[in-house]
Structure 1
Amino acid sequence: MRFLALILGLVLIAPAARAEDGYDLWLRYRSLPATLRSEPRVVEPIPPSVQTPTLTVALVELKRGLTGLNPDEPGLDAPTIVLGTPKSSSIIAASNLPLKGVGEEGYVIRTLTDNKTTVIAANSDIGVLYGVFHYLRLIQTGQSVESLDLTSSPKVKLRMLNHWDNLNRTVERGYSGQSIFDWWRLPGHVDARMVDYARANASIGINGTVLNNVNAKADSLTPAYIAKAAALADTFRPYGIKVYLSARFSAPMEIGGLKTADPTDPAVAAFWKAKANEIYKAIPDFGGFLVKANSEGQPGPQDYGRTHVDGANMLADAVGPHGGVVIWRAFVYSHEQPDDRAKQGYSEFKPFDGQFRDNVAIQVKNGAIDFQPREPFHPLFGAMPKSNLGMEFQITKEYLGFSTHLVYLGPLFEETLRSDTMAHGKGSTVAKVVDGSLDNRKLTVMAGVANIGSDRNWSGSQFDQANWYAFGRLAWDPEASAKAIAADWTKMTFGNDPRLVKPVVDMMMGSREAAVDYMTPLGLHHQMGRSHHYGPGPWVAGGPRADWTSVYYAKAGPDGVGFDRTPSGSNATAQYAPAVGGCFADLKCVDEKDLLWFHHLPWDYRLKSGDTLWDGMVKSYGRGVSYVDGMEKTWAGLAPYVDAQRHAEVADYLKIQRNEAQWWRDASVAWFGSFSKKPLPAGEKAPAKSLEYYESLEFPWAPGNGQ
């Protein structure tokens, strides 16, 4: 009851009670202009006999949204909204709705033949809540709700956030304050903000959250922390969100008193089965474990001469009887120095296709290196048809300017999902791998590394909220349009005025390409500063691993620049379907956006534009800076349409981005120019400082760097 009281107490707060500081995200529910208002609706109450926590919050959310968006009182003959399932509503039961086709989480929104009643119906309570949020989105974005007939259901089963949050509330690669999970005060006190976190996730269809860092601590699996996780699970449950935990593979030794964590040891298997039983007793709908193993120093089955299959299946057998899953990350690379780190994930997982349990999903990053500004799609997509492959995107912008650069990630997500693996011929897109339709897989996953923190605006900046939003919408439908999503977010977040919406959407849609231009043009990658990943560092060399350095990837020298992954180099192109890999390896076919990812080329190589490679690189850096100039000017002109507080914050951040884009451009031109020895193209200015100056800069306290 305590958690239901918390939910109801929070959602009943009037929307206008909060300042325009970004806290309300895309759920602002501010009063619409009269020209966009629909006729006020009466919401049919839910009979007490069929009320559930989820139906209750759906009803309260609907009333809250309708009241905020249209504060006028409904008249005596006002249209009615009925929400529920066939079991909870006789009207819905008698309405002959196509509910069989929408599954467990989908919904139907239909205006009945009397034109006075709209039903929001589903097979489950959570489907009703998703339908409520969709209905409110229609109103928020200025669409008519007078005559509706729509259905929607998620294409991906597990739509998850991965929080890289530590137990001391620091966040690895977090740029928006502390962790929102207050482990110290849990389970005795659940912050009311947890409800708004759950509301926001439910509004975009996210149904799972991994509470702790993939670089996990075994303490997360102790009784005290299980109780804390259970308190969060109780709070999230009405919103359809299951909790998961990152499991440290060496936990049997660290908290179980065993001398080994060998997955083939019966005592180790018994430890995990007992631990699963303990967790499910406290959290009956616990989702399962996320595991990072044998990567970046994390323990794993290879420590004992075992395989990823041995480790994943052992854990899957522990949670399987409870309906749980194991999500095993494919971000791995061996202790030995590879010829090409981009090949590691494929090399370690492809041989085991078909050997993983049905309740194991292999979580694969969108690209083969590490969330770079641009990467070709990971070669594992399309290469393991007998295994469950899930997508891992990074919402937090570790390599894209942290929270102060306006970089909308919708185009990045979309670019990956629409890439054609050619696994079964043309049209075998990554999206179809992820949603399971390509190989008829039932356990499907899309995960996003969260950008959420304790900052009032949740994400560190106003526009970074759009990346959380876009991830959720694309997890629901991986074939959705990033531009349409940006338009919805803009209308819901700032307002419907077309004088605002079009320039903001245009700004957002070009922002990722601009960041690629001023950071890593033409297929360059991994050119950031060491460890903290802040700012340019193309000179980074040395250290414990060559493949943690920038020079390893650019391979710049007097002869040219770029990583040769063709058959004459590392032959990473052979990991793709022949038609795809052959194109990547062919200079006449490869898209120049991926050019230096796959080819090492001389400085005077001619691009399709006619420019030399050197001139094209320099112009790309400058083009990225110019785009940020344009965003600054555009945003300044939008002051009449945005509240002063949020407008000022975005304007400040754009100034930061402009300065740092110039820094990226100048430092990179200075470094690569030291090898090309060529003059700058006409009209391009020399770097403002010397190369030695840029190399001397240090940032020991950059955010998101440490535990």
Structure 2
Amino acid sequence: MKNKRKNFLSLTLLMFIISLTASAQKDYKLWLQYDKITDHNLRTKYLSEIQGIVSFGNSETTAISSKELQTALTDMVGTTISVKSKLDQSSIIIGSQTSLNSEILKAAQIDFNQINDEGFILKSISIKNRKHILISGKKDVGVLYGVYSFLRLIQTNKSIENLNTIDSPKTNIRILNHWDNLDRTVERGYAGFSLWNWQKLPDFIDQRYIDYARANASIGINGTVLTNVNANALILTPQYLEKVEALANVFRPYGIKVYLTARFSAPIEIGGLKTADPKDADVINWWKEKTAAIYKRIPDFGGFLVKANSEGQPGPQNYNRDHVDGANMLADAVAPFGGVIMWRAFVYSEHDANDRAKQAYAEFQPYDGKFKENVIVQVKNGAIDFQPREPFHPLFGAMPKTPLMMEFQITQEYLGFSTHLVFLPKLFQEVLESDTFQRGKGSTVAKVIDGSLYKNKITGIAGVANIGNDINWTGHPFAQANWYGFGRLAWNPYLDAETIADEWLKCTFSTDENFIRPIKQMMIDSREAVVNYMTPLGLHHIMDTGHHYGPGPWVSNLSRPEWNPVYYHKADKNGIGFDRSKTGTNAVAQYAPEAAHIFDNLETCPEKDLLWFHHVSWDYKLKNGHNLWDGMALKYQEGVNQVKAMQETWNKTEKYVDSERFKEVKMLLNIQYQEAKWWRDACLLYFQQFSGKELPSGVEKPTQTLEYFQSLKFPFAPGN
């Protein structure tokens, strides 16, 4: 009896492990699921168009393209698709412009004039009365991007008849910023430890590095900054550079360049110099020699990302120099090798507490046109710090002679970590569509970023990565959509978030419209829900201190004024909000006159930004007729209600989703609902002290006291 019971338990455990592994593999595959097409007619139709693969070229990238295509198609159509040497059947032809034969080139020659070096062509062609599909580009990496685009068509059940797609990325540098430390912790990372196992590198190449490269290539990301912006100079030592070289070798065939963060004080810390003054001859020479040594190992090294004179990090101002001095010194070091310097504009000083939102503009705009041509200034989407909602950063459009690249945060530092479902492409799209008015109406942030407004030579968009070594990469299954969406918008900043959500869901979960319709709407609504239950009507930076987890509007005891949430909401008996109008800090003056006029006027300022730009009376009447207090309280309640609706929507999807991912999302949504109520209750109890008003009808009463919420501590919150 004991043996039978023991065998039963062993079998149960084995089945559990098998089940867990199968689910884990689905989670691990991200949007590259390549599930078998269940519609027999559709599968038959695809098979009639795809009877083989003919590959031209012999590069490693071409081999990757061919293998990806063969594996994916075989899985999706349920029949082995062979790689062939002859065009004797309707085939997919892949190869770059320089590798194709003249007969194939003749069918598509004109299209190559319409793409750049990373662009691709998907085209139905006819050769000797046989129909074929051509996937090509000027370079092998363009072919790889074309392969992933073609596979996405099949994953989403789109037609592949009469193809004629000509596409190129609209930005040059499409890059992930990893805030990974050398000890494998990840600053503001909520998905486990760093991917980079420095201890085992360079000799041990984890399969995860290859799968990371595949995932990025599939959405057009072409760069990765391996290390934290709060940089450690050790990464520039030979001991670590050989490890960086190993990663660069893995990523290169996928079109991905490696970049590093440069600690400005490195000449002192690892170079033995007594100064890091960018005007010092020995410092200049040290950086040139260090850079040359990196390029000797990694010929396609992308360059450096630099955080300087911000949050205590060293920089040129330590030596009475300016950002131009520091950036241009490093730019000269990488210029002979074709490298770039990405110089972050995220700066704020304890010596100017007038308005933190004004400081980046004040420090950088006067230097427009003074940076070297291989310097690109990296600007956060808003002037404070990756809040659930911020107006676009005033620097966008204000530096016509300087390339600016966008910095978005994919990891959810201020948005509930990887516990909360927040579809960030809605946030990204809102920023990119914002009108700067710098060259009249229609001068959107996207046009600044892609270089079309000012004809910049280099363009870029960066995303602070949400990736860790969790099985599902991002901590929350739906957080994968933010990585995916970032890549798609980096390629084309004009894409619609709804299109991105549709693609991701079909590639990741199911193509059944009964699943897609409600879940897509849930994703689209999720960002606004978070704004509502955290920071409605323009409130910002009221998260608890340090870890930024949960509400902390009461925090007021930190040593620098702009570290305290009370600095940002300024609630008192007269009202709430930060006055950035002409009669306040006049931050509105940093925008173009048309935008400044809209933001400055209480009547024309969008209500979503109201408390960002104005200190408003509790009795101020909102457009819906409610006074500010009632309207704000109802927004908090609306956010809670929206999360409850998300739960109800998800609970109806069980038959469309594997059980493990269904349960995982269900549990996470339950946490999100509890925490949405926490945000609502804590914030309204705190602000009620100042408004002196009762909660309006329709808002649930808190079940805990303000003192209870203020007593909560989270000393080991992740990512801090």
2:94 to 83, 100, 122: 83
Per the alignment, residue 42 of structure 2 pairs with 36
Matches of 2:117 and 2:357, distance apart in 1? 38
Report the CA distance between 1:27 and its aligned residue: 0.2
Per the alignment, residue 198 of structure 2 pairs with 183
Instruction: Indicate yes or no: 2:104 matched with 1:95.
Output: no
Matches of 1:28 and 1:100, distance apart in 2? 34
Instruction: Indicate yes or no: 2:121 matched with 1:112.
Output: no
Instruction: Indicate yes or no: 2:283 matched with 1:268.
Output: yes
The alignment's TM-score, normalised by the length of structure 1, stands at 0.96
Per the alignment, residue 23 of structure 1 pairs with 28
Whether contact under 8 Å (1:86, 1:92) holds in the other structure is no
The alignment's TM-score, normalised by the length of structure 2, stands at 0.94
Instruction: Indicate yes or no: 2:547 matched with 1:532.
Output: yes
Q: How does 1:475-494 map to 2 (within 5 A)?
A: 475-494=490-509
Whether contact under 8 Å (1:39, 1:74) holds in the other structure is no
SS at match of 1:537: coil
Whether contact under 8 Å (2:52, 2:81) holds in the other structure is no
Where structure 2 has 5 or more consecutive residues not aligned to the other structure, the ranges are: 1-20
Per the alignment, residue 417 of structure 2 pairs with 402
Matches of 1:596 and 1:21, distance apart in 2? 43
Matches of 1:500 and 1:78, distance apart in 2? 37
SS at match of 1:313: helix
Report the CA distance between 1:93 and its aligned residue: 2.3
Letter in 1 for 2:33: R
Letter in 2 for 1:620: K
Letter in 1 for 2:397: G
Q: How does 1:456-471 map to 2 (within 5 A)?
A: 456-471=471-486
Letter in 2 for 1:618: A
Q: How does 1:352-391 map to 2 (within 5 A)?
A: 352-391=367-406
Whether contact under 8 Å (1:420, 1:426) holds in the other structure is yes
Matches of 2:23 and 2:253, distance apart in 1? 24
Report the CA distance between 1:78 and its aligned residue: 5.1
Deviates more, 1:88-97 or 1:413-422: 88-97
Letter in 2 for 1:79: S
Whether contact under 8 Å (2:353, 2:561) holds in the other structure is no
Report the CA distance between 1:19 and its aligned residue: 4.6
Cα deviation, 1:135-164, whole Å, max 9, x if unaligned, reads 000000010112211111000000000000
1:545 to 554, 560, 572: 560
Report the CA distance between 1:115 and its aligned residue: 5.7
Matches of 2:24 and 2:74, distance apart in 1? 18
Distance 1:564-1:115 versus aligned 2 partners, 3 A rule: farther
Whether contact under 8 Å (2:23, 2:658) holds in the other structure is no
SS at match of 1:224: helix
Whether contact under 8 Å (1:390, 1:445) holds in the other structure is yes
Where structure 1 has 5 or more consecutive residues not aligned to the other structure, the ranges are: 1-15
Distance 1:139-1:586 versus aligned 2 partners, 3 A rule: same
Letter in 1 for 2:716: W
SS at match of 2:617: coil
Cα deviation, 1:230-279, whole Å, max 9, x if unaligned, reads 00000000000000000000000000110000000011000000000000
Matches of 1:115 and 1:252, distance apart in 2? 63
Per the alignment, residue 12 of structure 1 pairs with none
Consecutive aligned runs of 4 or more in structure 1 exceeding 4 Å deviation: 16-21, 73-78
Letter in 2 for 1:428: S
Per the alignment, residue 247 of structure 1 pairs with 262
Note the aligned Cα RMSD (angstroms). 1.3
SS at match of 2:324: helix
Per the alignment, residue 8 of structure 1 pairs with none
Cα deviation, 1:556-610, whole Å, max 9, x if unaligned, reads 0111100000011000000000010111010111110000000001111110011
SS at match of 2:249: helix
Matches of 1:36 and 1:480, distance apart in 2? 27
Whether contact under 8 Å (1:20, 1:643) holds in the other structure is no
Paired-residue identity, %? 57
Q: How does 1:206-355 map to 2 (within 5 A)?
A: 206-355=221-370
Q: How does 1:547-562 map to 2 (within 5 A)?
A: 547-562=562-577
Cα deviation, 1:421-453, whole Å, max 9, x if unaligned, reads 000000100000000000000110100000000
Report the CA distance between 1:686 and its aligned residue: 1.9
Matches of 2:350 and 2:660, distance apart in 1? 49
Matches of 2:699 and 2:130, distance apart in 1? 64
Instruction: Indicate yes or no: 2:144 matched with 1:135.
Output: no
Letter in 1 for 2:32: L
Report the CA distance between 1:356 and its aligned residue: 0.2
Instruction: Indicate yes or no: 2:637 matched with 1:622.
Output: yes
Whether contact under 8 Å (2:24, 2:471) holds in the other structure is no
Per the alignment, residue 4 of structure 1 pairs with none
How many residues end up aligned between the 2 structures?
Answer: 688
Cα deviation, 1:256-303, whole Å, max 9, x if unaligned, reads 110000000011000000000000000000000000000000000000
Report the CA distance between 1:46 and its aligned residue: 3.1
Matches of 2:247 and 2:360, distance apart in 1? 33
Report the CA distance between 1:87 and its aligned residue: 1.9
